[in-house]
Amino acid sequence: MKRGERRSRRWRLKTGERQLLLIAGDFVAASAATFTALALWAQFDWLGLGRGFVQARAGWFVLLPVAWLILMVNLYDVHRAASWRDTLRGVLWAAGVGLVLYLTVYFFRSEPGSLPRRGILYFLATAVALTLVWRFLYVRITVAPAFLRRALIVGAGESGCTMLKVIQSLNPAPLIVAGFIDDDVDKQGQTIGGAPVLGDSARLLQVAQEQEVSELIVAILGPMNGSMFQALLDAQERGVEIVRMPVAYEELLGRVPIQHLESDWLLRSFVDEVRASSLYLIAKRLMDLIGSLFGLFAFLTVLPSVSLAILLESGRPVFFPQIRLGQGGRPYRLVKFRTMRQDAEADGTARWADSDDPRMTRVGRVLRKMHLDEFPQFLNVLAGDMSLIGPRPERPEMVAELERQIPFYRARLLVKPGIGGWAQVNYGKGASLEGSAEKLEYDLYYIKHRGFWLDVILLFRSLGAMIGFRGI
């Protein structure tokens, strides 16, 4: 292996490493913005930066970098972060939401004048500027060919072609696919999906060296012959990383490829790997209890106005109860604000709901857009039927139909359903069989990787979706 090749591979960061780099860079930018804001505040408002001033009026400024990271939570998806357009929109959105939230606290605080105005404006302006500079450099550097990983896909069958399509669908590309390796003699020299078949297992090491490959994505889900297995071991010994197709799919999309999994995947992933610790379950329940109390306070705050709006437009009832399936397939009664006409399902047949559903009332559209229709579900969270974070609960009729057509669908009932979740923030509501299949891929990813910090991140992202009016 050449020295230059070894040096270039050192800088090809994986998804987790890029996320840490993004967080670290944003934190440095926000910290610099905090010190700059304090200096500008002192300079132009003649307040001085003495110890007494900092303790009395600016001590809580040390929390601003953390608050900025929370506002930026939607921009730690590495694919969105690699797009300058998404980055610009996301940073400006974060600053706008931060400003609105701060002004709300400022004007409703019981002690007028106890909070600064210009200091926060200085911080937001500086944080936006420094963050955009840092993110611009990140985008320019990470999409450069020298910083992109190069890969070979081992197996040019259905799974390999699916992996290639996933990589090609992402813009900017997360890695460069040099081609396929496959032992099928009929595929040698062919071009499949725009990528050439460069050889078989006997040429794997040579091709990997010629193409300066840093990893091999193994898309062989069935039996593997001995020569291919040995070639993969030899490549690994020479420093080439071996990644299975389902793992690469998860890393790139944050989803589980339900159509390309081996038959024992469910047992390996959800029995051997996904045994949640008691500490996590206790922490999750405490978060649910605390969050549901705050949610119920918000529910009681909007109850009079929402109820009046529903009654004036379409009459009673205000609430709409419905049977959903909880953890383990246990049915429970979910409560929501009514968003559709009273005769939406007059024949008793369950139907999909989408954003353009003609059964929806005008008030209902607004409630769904702002997620206000889901506020009564905090009662279900308090009762223990639901969690703040988890897969969206489905109706028994829908589950029975989806189980027949989508593999592994029953696995989403291994955990409590949630008001928000990985599928909700990344996809939304599945309004079709295809949409439900894609949403299931997100749900299974969450169940497999769930943990306290992922739940906290999803909680903030769910709040961001609500504040940003990105409902269905």
Domain spans in the chain, listed from the N-terminal domain onward: 3-142, 148-253, 278-341+354-467
What's the pLDDT tens digit per position in 4-31? 344 344 456 677 778 889 999 999 999 9
Percent of the chain, pLDDT > 90? 34
Classified as helix, coil or strand, 82 is coil
pLDDT at 182: 93
| Residue matched to tokens 């996320």 | 19
Q: Which helix (H) or strand (E) holds 343?
A: none
Please give the structure tokens belonging to residue 19: 């996320």
Say what angle helices 118-142 and 84-108 make with each other, to 10 degrees.
160
Can you state the percent helix, strand and coil of the chain, rounding each to 5?
60, 10, 30
pLDDT at 152: 94
What's the pLDDT tens digit per position in 83-112? 888 899 889 988 988 888 888 877 776 565
Q: Rounded mean pLDDT of the chain?
A: 83
**Ramachandran angles phi, psi of 145, nearest 5°:** -55, -35
Provide the 10 A C-beta neighbour count for residue 112.
Answer: 8
Please report which residue ranges of 188-333 form alpha helices under DSSP H: 204-210, 226-237, 245-253, 265-267, 278-314
Q: What is the pTM of this model?
A: 0.80
pLDDT at 349: 63
Strand partners, 325: 331
What's the pLDDT tens digit per position in 171-203? 777 888 999 999 988 898 899 989 999 999 999
Say which CATH class 148-253 falls into.
alpha beta
